[in-house]
Amino acid sequence: MRPVIEARGVAKEFRGTHALADVSFALEPDRIHGLLGRNGAGKTTLMRILAGQDRPSGGSVAMFGADPFENAAVAQRICFVRESQVYPENFRVGHVLAAARLLYPTWADDVATRLVAAFDLPQDRPVKKLSRGMTSALGIVVGIAARAPITMFDEPYLGLDPAARQVFYDALLADFSAHPRTVVLSTHLIDEVATLLERVVVVHRGRVVLDADADDVRGTAAAVTGPSPRVEQFIAGREVLHREDLGAYAKVTVLGRLTAADRVRARDLDLELAPVSLQQLVIHATAGAR
Ligand SMILES: Nc1ncnc2c1ncn2[C@@H]1O[C@H](COP(=O)(O)OP(=O)(O)OP(=O)(O)O)[C@@H](O)[C@H]1O
């Protein structure tokens, strides 16, 4: 399938800081992608470039095959929700929704109304007077109700309590299922969104260190638990990601796919095998100095 988002050797330098060094990937349409990485990895910089809000210092990006920078036709098809969204002075919640309705031809009023109620957002309150969580909720309402063909969320949940975050995840998934679109979600709460993500792109020190289907990533490590000597016997020769000693027992996370023979051997040694979370694998992929 033809990619809708492409980054080719994207670099970005801010007066001596190499925020992005050489980023390349291609994202397919109508999937939910996770853009993951540690603080300062370059995620926001990359999303701003993809949204046409900044230019790369090197390389290029294509959204629907076109350069998004100062491209009104492309901008109309992209909704970029970021944590530090700035709204015009004196705008109230209702004004933000009215402006978004004008901006996005795909805007769904019924979805906006439902989400405003779910987040308990006061329509006539000035945006400046909203709590941090309410400001995040407003961005989320716009991001979902816009139904833009490309929707990017950059850590959209700041200040949102767990129940409100669940409202976000449920609403995103429900609306995405009914109206598939390309979603890019940048988050540090990987375990919370793990089931939503179909593909993950992990950025570290301005480079892509992992770009794969989430399901494929999940199978690349396993946690082995049991009596220490038998665990050691089983893991001999494998790359260890993490080790926990629990008295006479040990829980060791090893890298590499387990074969059917490995599973039989583990059963014979009376060892327990468990999958490793996406979050742990991303932490491993981005370990080391930034
Ligand atoms: N306008 C700017 N001027 C100078 N340096 C910048 C600017 N914008 C970003 N940077 C630097 O570029 C690097 C990448 O920042 P970016 O905000 O893209 O990271 P991030 O992955 O979004 O981080 P976080 O997860 O903490 O939000 C950081 O070192 C940051 O300090």
For tokens 């979805």, the residue is: 111
Residue type for 178, please? A
Taking the CA of residue 206 as reference, the ligand 1 atom at the shortest distance is 14
Q: How far is the CA of 20 from the centre of ligand 1 (A)?
A: 9
Taking the CA of residue 41 as reference, the ligand 1 atom at the shortest distance is 21
Task: Check the CA dihedral 108-111-190-181 and report its sign.
Answer: negative
DSSP annotation of 92: B
Taking the CA of residue 83 as reference, the ligand 1 atom at the shortest distance is 27
Q: What is the pLDDT of residue 281?
A: 87
Q: What is the pLDDT of residue 192?
A: 92
DSSP one-letter string for 117-173: HHTT--TTSBGGGS-HHHHHHHHHHHHHHT--SEEEEESTTTT--HHHHHHHHHHHH
Domains and CATH numbers, the chain: 5-213 (3.40.50.300), 219-285 (3.30.70.2020)
> Ligand 1 pocket by C-beta < 6 Å: which residues?
14, 17, 19, 37, 39-45
ipTM here: 0.97
User: Which of 10, 17, 38 should be mutated for ligand 1, with most atoms under 8 A from CB?
Assistant: 17
Q: What is the pLDDT of residue 289?
A: 55
Q: Which residue's CA is minimally distant from atom 18 of ligand 1? A: 42
Q: What is the pLDDT of residue 217?
A: 87
As a whole number of angstroms, the distance between CA 178 and CA 175 comes to: 5
Q: What is the pLDDT of residue 288?
A: 65
Q: How far is the CA of 13 from the centre of ligand 1 (A)?
A: 10
Taking the CA of residue 38 as reference, the ligand 1 atom at the shortest distance is 25
pLDDT in tens, the chain (290 residues): 789 999 999 999 998 899 999 999 999 999 999 999 999 999 999 999 999 999 999 999 999 999 999 999 999 899 999 977 788 889 999 999 999 999 999 999 999 999 999 999 999 999 999 999 999 999 999 999 999 999 999 999 889 999 999 999 999 999 999 999 999 999 999 999 999 999 999 999 999 999 999 988 888 899 999 999 999 999 999 989 889 998 999 999 998 888 999 999 999 999 999 988 888 888 888 886 55
